[in-house]
Structure 1
Amino acid sequence: MARLVQASRKSLLSPFRALSLHIFEPNLQFSRHPNRPIPNFLTQTQTTTHLSTAALQKSPFDSNILRLLRKEIQYQSEYAPPHQSALEFNGFIVDDRPGNQWITLRGKFGENETIKIEATMFDGSVVVPKSGDDSTAEDVRLHISLLVDISKGGECDLEFVCSSWPDHIEIQKVYVYQRDGSSKWPYMGPNFRDFDKKLQNALLDFLKARGVNNDLSVFLHQFMANKDRTELIRWLEKTMSLVED
């Protein structure tokens, strides 16, 4: 199995190009006596023709797309305007690359242990019953995929494939990763839920001691909610820029 987040990086949408519509401005010429002044109405006609031609540089189809994009950008910016998220949490430094659908968190544990967490943006959801008196109501819980790399500087790292939910973290897989890349298809081990319950709790405690806990999951969901809004507005603006060119 290929590494989860490395595969998600390659799933980024490829760039697109907007079509350009070329309208040639008519070449208007007026014959006149060299010593005779140009009548005002001819000058006004030339100016009006130039402005009209400039207005026709965009087709009605392109103009409609631009109008809708501007409207959507305004709505998204006013409904829940994005803000500058904190780039540090409980000892982890967040590396957020604009335009990418994943982030990296780096931290340390002890004297010689480094922790690297790669987290995707929201990549799934489940529908669950909504808490309260109305038993028929439903709620949506968003999912974030995590790859947690624990390194002590040796040839191999211990890696955890995890699911981050709004209020907790679940382990899906635990495996040994060779840093030299000699094993392209590492054995991923059994499903985490097939482990003995005591072993499950011990591995969860191992991550919690390193700050990979429920509080981090809450932070990631807040961070990704803001990043999702930011990336959407950035995409709308880039799309509008391509259509305008």
Structure 2
Amino acid sequence: MPNLEGGPEFDDEDGEGDGENAGKDDEDEEEDDEGAGDSSISLKVVVSKDSGPKLEFTCTAFREEITIDDMLIVEKTEVEGEEKFPYEGPEFTELPPNVQKGLFKFLEQRGVTLSATNYMHDYMVTKQTQEYIRWMRKLKDFVKQ
């Protein structure tokens, strides 16, 4: 699920409340939009070939950029389902800039792009909102009975 720092809170639909939101204007809405820009999603991207090792990327996708937080080369062992981690390698940020750039390009060629991650983010937020509304309706129906 997206990490919504400063994300919008759900307002009382009937307009009833303690009057805290009574003077809300466009300026407050712009702040909500800025907060939405800080939200992110975490991704684990696994690239594998038939029977060889796998590359595992741990990424964070923001609206304007994708960062690679960690990368591992995972080798399979003789025992089914067991994996070994002989050497995790250096921190991603310690890799030479041309290697970092090449790995970003590697992920981009496999569909990890800003447009794809922004779509996933929007989809998850929309789905979460729909699930919340559905849950509130069920709660309302239960209380009415």
Query: Equivalents in 1 of 2:100, 2:87: separation in Å?
Result: 19
Aligned AA (1:169): I
Aligned AA (1:158): L
Instruction: Quote the offset at 1:151 in angstroms.
Output: 1.7
Q: Could you tell me whether the CA contact under 8 Å between 1:171 and 1:192 is conserved in 2?
A: yes
Counting matched residue pairs gives 116
Aligned AA (1:191): E
Q: Percent of aligned pairs with the same residue? A: 31
Larger radius of gyration: 1
Going from structure 1 to structure 2, the CA distance change for 1:211 and 1:240 (only over 3 Å counts) comes to same
Which residue does 1:125 correspond to in 2?
5
Query: Equivalents in 1 of 2:75, 2:134: separation in Å?
Result: 37
Which residue does 2:120 correspond to in 1?
220
Going from structure 1 to structure 2, the CA distance change for 1:176 and 1:196 (only over 3 Å counts) comes to same
Tell me the TM-score normalized by structure 1: 0.40
- Three-state SS of the structure 2 residue aligned to 1:170 is strand
Aligned AA (2:43): L
2:99 is aligned with 1:199: yes
Instruction: Quote the offset at 1:228 in angstroms.
Output: 1.9
Going from structure 1 to structure 2, the CA distance change for 1:233 and 1:188 (only over 3 Å counts) comes to farther
2:31 is aligned with 1:147: no
- Three-state SS of the structure 2 residue aligned to 1:225 is helix
Query: Equivalents in 2 of 1:125, 1:196: separation in Å?
Result: 32
Which residue does 1:82 correspond to in 2?
none
Instruction: Quote the offset at 1:225 in angstroms.
Output: 2.1
Query: Equivalents in 2 of 1:151, 1:143: separation in Å?
Result: 25
Structure 1 residues without counterparts, runs of 5 or longer: 1-120, 127-136
Instruction: Quote the offset at 1:160 in angstroms.
Output: 0.8
The structure carrying a bigger strand percent of its residues is 1
Which residue does 2:14 correspond to in 1?
none
Going from structure 1 to structure 2, the CA distance change for 1:194 and 1:241 (only over 3 Å counts) comes to farther
Instruction: Quote the offset at 1:177 in angstroms.
Output: 3.0
The structure carrying a bigger helix percent of its residues is 2
